[in-house]
Amino acid sequence: MNNTTHYPNHDLEQDRQRLETLVKPIHGFADLGLRKLLTTVGEKTMKFLTSGNDLRIWQRTSNGRLIWFAHDPITNRTRSFTSEQDVRQWLDNRYYE
């Protein structure tokens, strides 16, 4: 006769803890590369699906000077400007060209 009492819930708890130990590296530093990759793919997919023919305007600093850029996906051209006023003027005029 077996003198050991069998606790099914205890066995299940031990199995669960062992499985969690195996899964923990996925939630740690090991998955940062995968997480970054999936985030990048998701962002690019959203951008592709939602961008359409919308203008894209951004700014950068070069040699201490602020430079504005505008990309027109219809013409597939990117232009640079030295001031926000120049960008606004270009935006107003591009519809009349």
**Is residue 30 helix, strand or coil?**
helix
Task: Name the H helices within the chain.
Answer: 8-23, 32-51, 84-94
- 3, part of any domain: no
Q: Span 10-20, mean pLDDT?
A: 75
What is the tally of structural domains in the chain?
2
**DSSP letter at 6?**
P
Range of the domain at 65: 52-97
- 46, part of any domain: yes
- For residue 68, give the nearest of 81, 54, 85 by alpha carbon: 81
Based on the fold, state whether residues 66 and 30 are members of the same structural domain.
no
Q: Each residue of 20-62: pLDDT tens digit?
A: 766 655 445 555 678 888 888 888 877 777 667 788 899 999 8
Based on the fold, state whether residues 56 and 42 are members of the same structural domain.
no
Based on the fold, state whether residues 68 and 40 are members of the same structural domain.
no
Based on the fold, state whether residues 39 and 76 are members of the same structural domain.
no
**DSSP letter at 29?**
G
Q: How much is the pTM?
A: 0.47
13 pLDDT band (50/70/90 cuts)? confident
- 1, part of any domain: no
- 42, part of any domain: yes
1 pLDDT band (50/70/90 cuts)? very low
Structure tokens given for 36: 């970054």
Structure tokens given for 62: 């070069």
**Residue that has been written with the tokens 């950068």 in this structure:** 60
Based on the fold, state whether residues 47 and 61 are members of the same structural domain.
no
What local confidence, expressed as pLDDT, does residue 28 receive?
A: 52
